[in-house]
Amino acid sequence: MKLIFGSANRHKLAEVSRILGPTYKVILPEDLGLTEEIPETGDTLAANSLQKASYVWDRFHLPCFADDTGLEVDALGGAPGVHTARYAGEPKSSARNIARLLSELEGVSEEKRTARFRCVVTLIIDGQPTAFDGVCEGRIGFAPVCEDGFGYDPVFIPEGFDCTMSELSMDVKNTLSHRGKAMLQLVCHLSEHHG
């Protein structure tokens, strides 16, 4: 089955392709000639996820999905939340986002640096949207470790681990990550309803 992933992020494409496995061929909108930025103007993760998936569906009328992910830091009242990707402004930059986050958490003790990644994935088949949620609890470290990860992975330490998300293998990350959990629900849904 071919699925269009409403994203321009090749890192995310590799991650979701690995989770979905060989049964599904995942392509990006740009592979079909859609190069403009997909809008995400909602005020919640669910609204953005639905908006992005709907945008792709409206153009191609092919099975598609999109996600929106937010980092919720308890000491910051749930920020950056829906503004996670552009926390430090435009153009979006993981390094600047991390720098702003660490600056705002300066002086906050380790036990008060609890946070979670939340992901909402919206699948649209035959015009019908279905949403899936995934959460990964953890805490924010004091400095970036291992620049291999993308987004906030170099400072996010998942619950039960002593290392950042960016230090984990892709397979381990996919079993515990917010996106991995939401995508596994999507896989179960596809196999039950569209297998």
Q: Which residue numbers are catalytic?
A: 68
Contact 78, 72 (CB under 8 A): yes
Q: Tell me the C-alpha distance between 173 and 160, whole Å.
A: 13
Q: Which residues contact 66 (CB under 8 A, 6 or more apart)?
A: 5, 6, 7, 38, 49, 50, 52, 53, 55, 56, 121, 122
